[in-house]
Structure 1
């Protein structure tokens, strides 16, 4: 089975920076699998910041939905998936069966040869959201993180830029 690493934490906790360094430590060049979709100018600016931080050792693959397909297609070098919670957002807003997609992702991991580093937000540490969609998302993200953490060889929780090994 490929080495699987999950890096989780809150917003602006240093998850992506840590995950990028860990991925490159596994080998160069590496694949950056970006799940974000550009919905507005603010999101475009966020994506531009991420892209500017990365160097030429990355090949970027924009894939908002088909993680299994892109992981199979990039199984020649370490991969960074940034991030699972945006992937989940895309699935839920697209009225897709996120649980089936998550189970397919987990089932594909043992067949992969190259390492995979997943980034995911820990969204369940705050208040209970005031609307059903937000509560459903919080719950789904919690389950997805638990499932990926169970499959992972290592789990890192980042706080204030500091990585803490959880598993």
Structure 2
């Protein structure tokens, strides 16, 4: 009885269904895959430092209030930290949901609509979050009255 021979996996034969054409999206998917790994590693550091500063180093959850956020965002380092956390987490999550949509949405029209809603919501959240971080005013003037707290400069 003859034993069957198994070809080496790297023998160069590629199934026609998996052959790449010059216009294939393989490069984009590879970059998206790499982004997920790198952003995930960076997000672990960003999130644990964020949690430590907000919950462990201070007064815990009871210490987080308007004044805490105002004091934190008075420092540009924390603005950039929180902005990086927002952008990376939104892009990381959007890329993950995009992969899920590609895997489970069978019709092209369904896939198109789901991705449209995903991308629109991502842009809205990133833009609004960025505006909040950079336009946050801890010392607002409402109806001509300055609402001065102890951390605001005298009017």
Q: TM-score, normalised by structure 2?
A: 0.28
Which structure has the bigger radius of gyration? 2
Q: As a proportion of its length, which structure holds more strand?
A: 1
Q: As a proportion of its length, which structure holds more helix?
A: 2
Q: TM-score, normalised by structure 1?
A: 0.27
